[in-house]
């Protein structure tokens, strides 16, 4: 994204119909735009002004609230104008068109995706981790995810990252100061307790990493694929998992032959469960069915965990053996023996070499709790009660890299001939990684990628 700071405008509310809808504009100065839209009217900053929104020919498009925020006291840090009208797609399009038309002599253009938030970042209203949290809060699929996103947006995550950066800088300064006095190097590490300081940073980083990794789980969720022969009870199990106390968040129904995805949550972790079209491996199936089956295997390839369902009253079939052979390596498989009400097994879980075996009944709701606990275990979920940061993979990668540099720094500090210059260099690299999280040290192309994933109006 090029850095074009001309004024921008966009519809800020979601498409579709709603009680109200908002057209938002942002620019270094919006005085000219306000004058063009509302000739002779003075909008007091932060005051709601009920006013007709008029077309160029004076026809009234809508009647609503105009809100003016004078920069830098606004979301973007620039002048911001919000026009709150009725939330219909047509009226909002007309309103946006009017703003663009009135503003075109002033260079007002349509905003690019994420551009409002990007300006907030560039004007230091938000750091990068907070800007990402804006998108994550909007996209949150569970209450727990929303809470963690809000936590990151408030700056709590950025703050602990800043603390790590500051501690790293302090230690680095200490080491670099000593580099100028080589004769003192030898007992420098003792005197300054540099090793102790480093250990403290590593500990703090471990804590942040754990909270971020758990938070990332809330954001990404777990992809669970249900496979098995027709009639073993896949759909029934999906319903049982989604049942009673577990809310179905987003049902996306496919056709009978297509996959059905439902996002349910267990303790706030979104599970994207894909109920696959029955897998058959025999020849002589029709083309449509084959496409359905190929899709199924495509889903299996993306799974974090495979639930392979079998009928406990019948035992495995030849088909099942073929299915098992085709499973991708390295993806955990839970072999679920369903219909134990018919077979007489007790609900139980049994970890064996080939896979975990779990006995349950979808219809009778026996052993469902065992499955839920097993899914949480596979996801790596630990219930700690501490607040989590809705981190992204990007953050985890940076935290991991920082941890590695700190470990290398520690190794340099342990050596007899204490190579302080290498020690300092590793600290600098760790610092760069940590700073990239909040955007103090982030290349422009990465910024482009991050903000282009927003939708327009954010
Ligand atoms: P799918 O084709 O694998 O999705 O299987 P369905 O979920 O549609 O179930 C097929 C049939 O098995 C239905 O008649 C279900 O009521 C039945 N069924 C599913 N789970 C159980 C169970 O735990 N016990 C018994 N007895 N029947 C079950
Ligand atoms: Zn089914």
Q: Is the pLDDT of residue 253 over 50?
A: no
pLDDT at 292 over 70: no
The DSSP 8-state label assigned to residue 38 in this structure reads S
Pocket test for ligand 1, best of 229, 230, 235, 236 (most atoms within 8 A of CB): 236
Residues with CB under 6 A from ligand 1: 228, 230-236, 278, 338-339, 341-342, 361-364
pLDDT at 57: 93
Q: How far is the CA of 4 from the centre of ligand 2 (A)?
A: 52
Q: What percent of the chain has pLDDT over 70?
A: 87
- How far is the centre of ligand 1, averaged over its atoms, from the C-alpha of 350 (Å)? 22
Same fold, 134-216+392-439 and 221-379: no
Determine contact, residues 174/194, Cβ cutoff 8 Å: yes
Q: In the prediction, which pLDDT does 119 show? A: 95
Domain spans, the chain: 8-127, 134-216+392-439, 221-379
The structural architecture, per CATH, of the domain 8-127 is 2-Layer Sandwich (3.30)
Indicate the range of 9-13, 169-173, 389-393, 439-443 predicted with least confidence.
439-443
Average pLDDT over residues 403-411: 93
pLDDT value, residue 193: 84
Mutating to test ligand 1, I would choose from 256, 361, 362 the residue with most ligand atoms within 8 A of its C-beta, which is 362
Alpha carbon 316 to chain centroid, angstroms: 39
* Binding-site annotation: residue ranges: 24, 82, 125, 231-236, 250-256, 275-278, 458
Q: Assess whether pLDDT exceeds 80 at residue 409.
A: yes
Rounded mean pLDDT, 227-234: 86
pLDDT in tens, 25-71: 999 999 999 999 999 999 999 999 999 999 999 999 999 999 999 99
Please give the Cα distance from 380 to 214 (Å, whole number). 8
pLDDT band at 220 (very low <50, low <70, confident <90, very high): confident
Fold classification of 221-379 is Rossmann fold (3.40.50)
What average pLDDT score do residues 413-434 get? 84
Mean pLDDT of 119-132: 93
Phi, psi of 20, rounded to the nearest 5 degrees: -130, 165
Average pLDDT over residues 220-233: 87
The pLDDT value given to residue 336: 97
Global ipTM:
0.98
The rounded distance, in Å, linking the Cα atoms of 177 and 9 is 50
With a threshold of 0.95, does the pTM exceed it?
Answer: no
**Exposed/middle/buried for 149, CB within 10 Å: 0-12, 13-18, 19+?**
buried
| CATH 3.40.50.300 correct for 134-216+392-439 | no
Q: pLDDT band for 221, please (50, 70, 90 cuts).
A: confident
| Ion ligand 2, residues whose Cβ is below 5 A away | 234-235
Q: Is the pLDDT reported for residue 288 higher than 50?
A: yes
Q: What is the mean pLDDT of residues 89-118?
A: 94
């Amino acid at each position: 994204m090029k850095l074009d700071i001309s004024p921008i405008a966009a519809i800020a509310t979601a498409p579709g119909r709603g009680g109200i809808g908002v057209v938002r504009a942002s620019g270094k100065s919006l005085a000219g735009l306000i004058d063009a839209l509302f000739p002779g009217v003075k909008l007091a900053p932060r005051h709601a002004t009920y006013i007709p929104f008029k077309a160029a020919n004076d026809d009234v498009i809508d009647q609503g609230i105009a809100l003016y925020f004078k920069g830098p006291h606004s979301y973007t840090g620039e002048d911001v104008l919000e026009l709150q009208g009725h939330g219909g797609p047509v009226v909002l399009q007309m309103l946006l068109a009017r703003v663009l038309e009135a503003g075109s002599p002033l260079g007002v253009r349509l905003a690019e995706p994420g551009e409002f938030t990007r300006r907030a970042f560039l004007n230091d209203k938000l750091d990068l981790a907070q800007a990402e949290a804006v998108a994550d809060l909007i996209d949150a699929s569970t209450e727990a995810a929303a809470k963690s996103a809000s936590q990151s947006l408030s700056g709590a995550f950025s703050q602990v990252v800043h603390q790590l950066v500051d501690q790293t800088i302090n230690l680095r300064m200490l080491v670099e100061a000593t580099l100028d006095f080589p004769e003192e190097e030898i007992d420098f590490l003792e005197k300054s307790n540099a090793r102790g300081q480093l250990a403290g940073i590593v500990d703090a980083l471990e804590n942040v990493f754990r909270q971020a990794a758990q938070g990332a789980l809330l954001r990404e969720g777990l992809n669970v694929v249900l496979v098995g022969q027709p009639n073993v009870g896949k759909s029934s199990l999906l319903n049982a998992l989604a049942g009673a106390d577990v809310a179905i968040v987003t049902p996306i129904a496919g056709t009978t032959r297509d996959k059905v995805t439902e996002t349910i949550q267990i303790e706030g972790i979104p599970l994207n469960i894909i109920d696959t079209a029955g897998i058959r491996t025999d020849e002589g199936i029709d083309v449509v069915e084959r496409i359905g089956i190929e899709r199924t295997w495509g889903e299996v390839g993306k799974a974090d965990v495979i639930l392979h369902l079998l009928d406990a009253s019948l035992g495995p079939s030849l088909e099942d053996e073929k299915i098992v052979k085709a499973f991708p390596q390295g993806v955990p498989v839970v072999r679920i023996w369903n219909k134990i009400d018919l077979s007489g097994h007790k609900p139980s879980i049994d970890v064996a070499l080939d896979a975990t075996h779990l006995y349950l009944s979808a219809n009778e709701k026996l052993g469902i709790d065992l499955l839920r606990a097993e899914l949480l275990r596979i996801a790596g979920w630990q219930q700690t009660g501490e607040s989590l940061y809705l981190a992204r993979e990007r953050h985890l990668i940076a935290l991991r890299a920082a941890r590695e540099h700190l470990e290398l720094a520690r190794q340099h500090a342990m050596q007899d001939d204490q190579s302080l210059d290498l020690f300092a260099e590793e600290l600098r690299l760790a610092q760069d990684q940590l700073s990239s999280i909040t955007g103090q040290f982030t290349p422009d192309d990465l910024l482009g990628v991050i903000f282009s994933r927003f939708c327009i109006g954010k």
